[in-house]
Amino acid sequence: GAGVSQSPRYKVTKRGQDVALRCDPISGHVSLYWYRQALGQGPEFLTDFNYEAQQDKSGLPNDRFSAERPEGSISTLTIQRTEQRDSAMYRCASTPGTGQETQYFGPGTRLLVL
């Protein structure tokens, strides 16, 4: 079956612009996670969802970052007024249930803010 998909795969934007990153999890997966990975570092947690409910947003760096999953499937991570420091790989993962299950990752979106 289809895995986790993310779009766009690459995004170049100018400082100050808003961007929306999309994640389409594996069909039927309950939980969805967003991570950010800087070059040479491991992924860092941003936020997660169980169905449509946002569970933990403690990893969002500031109020320019927001995420939603309105119908419990596709999720969008939005960054408003982008800054150069937002440049990174943004990764999405999903799991069938909740808790300590294997997370299935998408290919990521590489964001470059000029």
Partner 1 sequence: GNSVTQMEGPVTLSEEAFLTINCTYTATGYPSLFWYVQYPGEGLQLLLKATKADDKGSNKGFEATYRKETTSFHLEKGSVQVSDSAVYFCALGGSTLGRLYFGRGTQLTVWP
Q: Is 85 helix (H, G, I), strand (E, B) or coil?
A: helix
Q: Is residue 106 close enough to count as binding partner 1 by CB under 8 A?
A: yes
Q: How many CA atoms lie within 13 A of 18 on its CB side?
A: 9
- Closest to partner 1 by CB, 73 vs 105, is 105
CB 48 within 8 A of CB 34: yes
Q: Is residue 7 close enough to count as binding partner 1 by CB under 8 A?
A: no
Within residues 20-79, the interface with partner 1 by CB under 8 A covers: 31, 33, 35, 40-45, 48, 55-56, 59
C-alpha dihedral sign at 104, 70, 53, 13: positive
To partner 1, the closest distance from the beta carbon of 103 in angstroms equals: 6
CA separation for the pair 54, 66 (Å, rounded): 10
Question: Which of 9, 25, 22, 8 lies closest to 93 in space, CA to CA?
Answer: 25
- Closest to partner 1 by CB, 31 vs 82, is 31
CB 39 within 8 A of CB 90: no
Q: Is residue 95 close enough to count as binding partner 1 by CB under 8 A?
A: yes
Q: Is residue 109 close enough to count as binding partner 1 by CB under 8 A?
A: no
# residues contacting partner 1 (CB under 8 A): 28
Give contact residues for partner 1 (rule: CB under 8 A).
Answer: 4, 31, 33, 35, 40-45, 48, 55-56, 59, 91, 93, 95, 98-108
